[in-house]
Amino acid sequence: SWVSEIIDQEINPHVDQWEAEGTFPAHKIFKILGSAGFLGVNKPVEYGGLGLDFSYSVAVSEELGNIRCGGIPMAIGVQTDMATPALARFGSAELKEEFLLPSILGDKVACLGVSEVGAGSDVSSILTKAVRKGDEYVINGGKMWTTNGTQADWICLLANTSDAAPHRNKSLICLPMTLPGVHIARKIDKLGMWSSDTAEVFFDDVRVPCKNIIGQEGMGFTYQMLQFQEERLWAVANIVTMMDNIIQETIQYTRQRKIFKQPVLYHQSVNFRLAELQTEVELLRSLLYRATALYIKGNDVTKLASMAKLKGGRLAREVGDSCLQYWGGMGFTSDVLVSRFYRDSRLLSIGGGADEVMLGIICKYMDTLPKK
Quote the CA–CA distance of 337 and 111 in Å, as a whole number: 27
Query: If DSSP codes are grouped into helix, strand and coil, which group holds residue 144?
Result: strand
Is residue 63 annotated as a catalytic residue, yes or no?
no
Helix/strand/coil (H, E, C) string of 296-336? HCCCCCHHHHHHHHHHHHHHHHHHHHHHHHHCHHHHHCCCC
Quote the CA–CA distance of 35 and 30 in Å, as a whole number: 8
Task: Provide the 8-state DSSP code for 24.
Answer: -
Residues shown for the chain: 372
Residue 195: CA atoms inside 13 Å, Cβ hemisphere, count?
25
Which H or E run includes 186?
Answer: strand 182-187
Query: If DSSP codes are grouped into helix, strand and coil, which group holds residue 352?
Result: coil
Which H or E run includes 157?
Answer: strand 154-160
Beta strands in the chain (DSSP E): 110-113, 129-133, 136-147, 154-160, 170-176, 182-187, 198-209, 258-259, 262-263
Contacting residues for 252 by C-beta, under 8 A, at least 6 apart: none
Residue 124 CB neighbours (<10 A):
12
Q: To the nearest 10°, the Cα dihedral for 111, 61, 289, 246?
A: -120
Query: If DSSP codes are grouped into helix, strand and coil, which group holds residue 52?
Result: coil
CB 173 within 8 A of CB 223: no
Active-site option among 46, 98, 231, 282: 231
Residue 104 CB neighbours (<10 A):
28
Q: How far is CA 369 from CA 307, 352, 359, 362, in A?
A: 16, 22, 10, 10
Please give the positions annotated as active site: 231
